[in-house]
């Protein structure tokens, strides 16, 4: 190609043009995608373009740009998940998946022509790796633009040189926190670290890239120059860095690298890869990448955290053919912790809010709680003071129901008591306009029973927010027997407006997430009654991947709330009541031992000066006296995981949850099921349905019938029917 020649298509994803100065522009625009992705086809086309550029003496340098709003999003995660079952052996994966892109980018940076990445929008994962392989990086100064290597959050490591080039560029000590946490960098932060070379106004981006090529045009990366040394030193030969990141890796994996092996693999790739020349380092990275991508951990993380969550965020299960909701004013009844939290996220999303409580003083206290939360974010630099003021201005306070008359949707967030809620709905019905939606923020009370208190049950829906509302991303959207498709669709629109992730759940006691987490909590409490130490139970839970042990969690939540809620269910159920395993232990702690949780200074643990410590008197109350079968450590971990997965399967069987993807998203985002498993249904599939059923049968024989699988689940196991069908 000669200078000033017309643009030339390089396949369907790339376009190459050369100006009169010999500066080529290679424009990326992957068809049929909202963002550029590193696909197999894209890799082949980029390889051909690089060879064409290298062979053309008229080309002095190349500006790599994007035809989309963002630079590049990285790898095709949907494609990786879909093809997981088709992956070959390690040698095949290394040769056909791990090495080609890495070798391509290495060829690009050593082909003899300087490349500039003109980063017009976010560059993530493989997109940022592509930029790092360029000889110069200039970034548009845009607030929305982020740069990151987040592969570790989906169970992988950078596979196209990111774990080798970033440490060589900015030093190991600066690079490791970004790689281990997938930290998102703004243009200014990336410039300060040295990860990019210039930040310019968006309209000057291409000119700045071309200017560097004309004035400098260095065609060698720093690590390819003679006498180059990595800033701060190569490998982990610095004892301080070694200690720091050995400790960090232990904390990240809770001492169990099988949970999240990507952090350990990343540390290995950086330590070993930076101690040798970059070509050898790239091979080390590729081997670690190969090992990880063949692990079910990466598949589970990608499928749940990216694919399934993405479908929920896009409202894939929204009733079709219903116009989008036009929500102007939202009412919130109750200004306590939950009500104020809901009002906060509504106002932050740009919605007008009327927050009502029994008195204006209570409503004002709720608004002050919101102001305090905003203040903490302002102090941390994560919220603009003007945006905080605008959000607070959108919240109107009230103590009379008439103030809710013009609301389009009202969320009730009062005490979890059916009679209290019924009185709220009675008052609300007297003032609310006929088209408005009424939503109850209940975690367990049946929606159909609550809907009996309203005049139009078709416009009644459950919206189960999680605490703290501003930080928890999930909302359960619960449809009652009479909830209309329009109400359901508009409720989903509302949750999307709040930038939260909804899952659809059918009405049943405890819905989905509550019944699953309750099974976990009762199992742990029952083990205490069998003479097993709370410290042991909680430590093994953390080893299994839970962020906090169940007994420490119960102490933080307070035991009396759970106990009294189940007493109400017992009274309502009458002769149909089936006492859960562990309920007598709850009763003993709350009613006789007066150990109700952390707030009271005593629960499963003692609290001295606010610090949690073992309760020495527990062994006298519940001794390990041989009366009960004492489980192994593996049994305890299995019981804590499998009781939840089994309860989730029962909910699936009953039609409470109809999508394995939504169930996995709900269990991970809502109740902290270990992320590395992918969620409750991914756990069953990973273990194998037949193997899971067999393990539950053994647990039932040893520890009780609550572990006995249903005939439905046994039939699935016999038929080899997974919750996620195998790829065709």
**Is 563 within the bounds of a domain?**
yes
Considering only residues 96 and 406, tell me which one the structure prediction assigns the higher pLDDT: 406
Residue 265 lies in a domain: no
CA-nearest of 401, 402, 375 to 387 is 375
CATH number, domain with residue 199: 3.90.226.10
Q: Residue 475 pLDDT > 70, yes or no?
A: yes
Q: 602 with 505, same domain?
A: no
Q: Which residues pair with 9 in a beta bridge?
A: 15
When pLDDT is averaged across residues 91-102 and rounded to a whole number, the result is 82
Q: Would the pLDDT of 246 be above 80? A: no
| Whether the predicted pLDDT of 337 surpasses 60 | yes
The CATH number for 477's domain is 3.40.50.720
Q: Do 476 and 618 belong to one domain?
A: no
pLDDT at 576 > cutoff 80: no
Regarding whether 487 and 542 lie in a shared domain, the answer is no
Identify the three-state secondary structure at position 11: coil
CATH at 614: 1.10.1040.50
Same domain, 518 and 497: no
Give the pLDDT confidence of 126-169 residue by residue, as tens digits.
999 999 999 999 999 998 999 999 999 888 999 999 999 999 99
Split into its structural domains, the chain has a count of 3
Do 492 and 550 lie in a common domain?
no
- Domain range holding 490? 329-512
Question: What does the pLDDT read at residue 610?
Answer: 82
Tell whether the model's pLDDT for residue 4 goes beyond 50.
no
Query: Which pLDDT tens digit goes with each residue over 377-398?
Result: 999 888 889 999 999 999 999 9
Distance in angstroms (rounded) separating the CA atoms of residues 636 and 618: 19
Q: Is residue 450 part of a domain?
A: yes
Residue 450 sits in the same domain as residue 533: no
Q: Based on the domain organization, do 335 and 392 belong to the same domain?
A: yes
- What strands, in cross-sheet order, belong to the sheet with 136-140? 8-10, 14-18, 23-28, 61-66, 115-119, 136-140, 198-200
Given 453, 488, 512, the domain boundary residue is 512
Check whether 242 has a pLDDT greater than 90.
Answer: no
The predicted pLDDT at position 1 comes to 44
Confidence class for position 356, pLDDT limits 50, 70, 90 = very high
- Confirm if 475 and 495 have CB atoms less than 8 A apart: yes
Residues 557 and 503 in one domain: no
pTM score, two decimals? 0.89
Q: Give a yes or no: residue 310 inside a domain.
A: no
Report yes or no on 353 lying in a domain. yes
Q: Domain for residue 79, yes or no?
A: yes
- Quote the CA–CA distance of 561 and 578 in Å, as a whole number: 19
Q: Is the pLDDT of residue 245 over 80?
A: no
Q: What is the pLDDT of residue 241?
A: 57
Across all residues in the chain, what is the average pLDDT? Answer: 90
In a domain, residue 603? The reply is: yes
Both 74 and 184 in a single domain? Answer: yes
105, part of any domain: yes
Question: Which phi and psi (to 5°) does residue 87 adopt?
Answer: -60, 140
350 and 468 both lie in a single domain: yes
Reported as a single tens digit per residue, the pLDDT across 613-635 is 999 899 899 887 666 667 889 99
Q: Are residues 440 and 519 in the same domain?
A: no
The answer, yes or no, to whether residue 55 has pLDDT greater than 80, is yes
State which of 512, 543, 561 marks the end of a domain: 512
> Is pLDDT at 63 greater than 90 in this prediction?
yes
Burial letters for 545-570: b for 16+ Cβ neighbours within 10 Å, e otherwise? Answer: bbeebbbbbbbebbbbebbebbbeee
User: Where does a domain end: 164, 195, 219?
Assistant: 219
Are 557 and 417 part of one and the same domain? no
């Amino acid at each position: 190609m000669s200078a000033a020649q017309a643009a030339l298509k390089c396949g369907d994803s790339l376009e190459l043009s050369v100006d009169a100065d010999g500066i080529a522009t290679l424009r990326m625009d992957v068809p049929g995608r909202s963002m550029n992705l590193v696909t197999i086809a894209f890799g082949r086309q980029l390889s051909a373009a690089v060879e064409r550029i290298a062979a053309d003496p008229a080309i002095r340098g190349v500006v790599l740009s994007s035809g989309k709003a963002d630079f590049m999003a990285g790898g095709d995660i949907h494609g990786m998940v879909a093809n997981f079952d088709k992956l070959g052996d390690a040698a095949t994966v290394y040769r056909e998946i791990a090495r080609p892109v890495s070798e391509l980018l290495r060829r690009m940076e050593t082909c003899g022509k300087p490349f500039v990445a003109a980063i017009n929008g976010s560059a993530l994962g493989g997109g940022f790796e592509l930029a790092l392989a360029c000889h110069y990086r200039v970034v548009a100064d845009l607030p929305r633009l982020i740069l990151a290597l987040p592969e570790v959050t989906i169970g992988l490591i950078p596979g196209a040189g990111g774990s080798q080039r970033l440490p060589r560029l900015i030093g190991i000590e600066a690079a490791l926190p970004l790689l281990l946490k997938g930290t998102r960098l703004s243009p200014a932060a990336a410039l300060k670290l040295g990860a990019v070379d210039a930040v310019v106004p968006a309209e000057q981006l291409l000119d700045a890239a071309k200017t560097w090529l004309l004035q400098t045009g260095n065609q060698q990366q720093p690590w390819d120059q003679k006498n180059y040394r990595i800033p701060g030193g190569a490998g982990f030969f610095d004892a301080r860095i070694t200690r720091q990141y050995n400790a960090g890796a232990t904390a990240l994996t809770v001492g169990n690298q099988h949970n999240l092996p990507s952090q350990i693999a990343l540390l290995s790739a950086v330590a070993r890869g930076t101690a040798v020349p970059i070509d050898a380092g790239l091979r080390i990275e590729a081997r670690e990448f190969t090992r990880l991508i063949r692990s079910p951990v990466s598949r589970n993380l990608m499928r749940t955290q990216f694919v399934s969550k993405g479908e929920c965020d896009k409202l894939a299960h929204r009733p079709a053919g219903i116009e989008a909701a036009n929500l102007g004013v939202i009412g919130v009844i109750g200004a306590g912790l939950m009500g104020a939290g809901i009002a906060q996220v509504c106002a932050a999303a740009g919605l007008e809010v009327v927050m009502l409580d029994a008195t204006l003083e209570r409503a004002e206290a709720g608004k002050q709680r919101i102001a305090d939360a905003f203040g903490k974010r302002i102090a941390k630099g994560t919220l603009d003071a003007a945006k905080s003021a605008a959000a607070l201005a959108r919240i109107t306070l009230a103590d009379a129901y008439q103030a809710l008359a013009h609301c389009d949707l009202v969320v009730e967030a009062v005490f979890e008591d059916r009679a209290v809620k019924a009185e709220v709905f009675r008052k609300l019905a007297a003032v609310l306009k006929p088209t408005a939606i009424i939503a109850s923020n209940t975690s367990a009370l049946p929606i159909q029973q609550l809907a009996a208190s309203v005049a139009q049950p078709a416009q009644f829906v459950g919206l189960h927010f999680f605490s703290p509302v501003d930080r928890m991303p999930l909302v359960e959207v619960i449809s009652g027997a009479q909830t209309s498709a329009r109400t359901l669709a508009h409720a989903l629109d509302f949750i999307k407006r709040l930038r939260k992730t909804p899952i659809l759940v059918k009405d049943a006691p405890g819905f989905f997430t509550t019944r699953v987490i309750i099974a976990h909590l009762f199992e742990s409490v029952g083990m205490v009654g069998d003479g097993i130490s709370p410290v042991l139970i909680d430590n093994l839970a953390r080893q299994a991947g839970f962020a906090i042990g169940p007994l420490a969690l119960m102490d933080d939540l307070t035991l009396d709330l759970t106990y009294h809620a189940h007493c109400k269910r017992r009274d309502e159920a009458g002769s149909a009541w089936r006492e859960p395993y562990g309920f007598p232990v709850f009763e003993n702690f709350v009613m006789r031992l007066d150990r109700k949780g952390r707030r009271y200074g005593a629960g499963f643990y003692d609290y001295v000066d606010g610090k949690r410590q073992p309760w020495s008197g527990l062994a006298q109350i519940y001794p390990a006296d041989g009366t009960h079968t004492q489980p192994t450590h593996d049994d305890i971990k299995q019981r804590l995981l499998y009781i939840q997965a089994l309860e989730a399967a029962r909910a699936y069987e009953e039609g409470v949850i109809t999508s394995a993807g939504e169930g996995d998203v709900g269990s991970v985002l809502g109740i902290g099921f270990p992320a590395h498993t992918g969620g409750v249904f991914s756990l069953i599939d990973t273990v194998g349905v037949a193997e899971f059923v067999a393990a539950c049968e053994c647990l039932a024989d040893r520890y009780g019938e609550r572990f006995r699988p249903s005939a439905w689940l046994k039939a699935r196991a016999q038929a080899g029917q997974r919750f996620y069908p195998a790829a065709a």
